[in-house]
Amino acid sequence: MKVKICGLTNYDDAALALELGADILGFVLAPSPRRVEPAQAARILARLRAEGRLAGRETVGVFVNEAPEAMAAAMAETGLDFAQVHGDEAPADCAALSFPWYRALRIASPEDAGRASDWDCGRILVDALSASGYGGTGLRVDFVAALAARDAVREAGKEFFLAGGITPHNVFEIVRSVSPDGIDLSSGVEERPGRKSPDKLEHLFSEIRRTREEPKDE
């Protein structure tokens, strides 16, 4: 299972996430309390690359209802590996993008999970539908909806990532009950928006190790 730490705004948090075991670093390039400018993300990534910290890791930029040309320019400036398309974009709009991307789907019910097959990408990230924002809300996906989404995403031949309300305190139970291919955390490991908590990050990765080491109940 892959672990994505998102909403990063500074080098220290990104470096610590990698040191503890993060597979994917996420940078929000959309309106948000965690927003970073492309130039800022580029500086952080350049330093991490120069230090050899990004070998075998993935970097992602989060975009919400952004023009394709602006997305392409930000991807080129930062050198990010993937765009996470997290707004109200249509499948045809995404299919025309000229850089690697995957789709974030905000769902509220099991019926929403059927949209997974609409997207021509290799990964679907499922987040909770919230009226307060497009992500980082701390709202958890309904369990039944998460299972329906997992099955629909895998039936479509895609990786299933789960986001929304995951914290060090519930990650063991979520991973054991849903078995996602990856998880995405932002607010769940923060001291405040845009600043990660070292203690919460350490607790998170300790719990993730526990999910891998402890036998499952029969």
Given 6, 94, 112, 142, which residue is catalytic? 6
> Is position 127 annotated as part of the catalytic site?
yes
Helices (H), 80-197: 91-95, 143-155, 171-178
Given 94, 112, 121, 127, which residue is catalytic? 127
For helices 171-178 and 198-213, the axis angle rounded to 10 degrees is 40
State the residue for tokens 């050899």: 52
Q: Which amino acid is at 75?
A: M
Neighbouring C-alpha atoms within 13 Å toward the C-beta of 86: 28
> Is position 121 annotated as part of the catalytic site?
no
CB-based contact 99:75 (threshold 8 Å)? yes
Radius of gyration of the chain (CA): 16
**CA-to-CA distance for 171 and 185, rounded, in angstroms?**
10
125's tokens: 């990230």
Which of 135, 138, 126 is closest to 182 using CA atoms?
A: 126
Q: What angle do CA 179, 8, 190 make, to 5 degrees?
A: 70
State the residue for tokens 């330093």: 47
Q: List, by residue number, the catalytic residues.
A: 6, 127
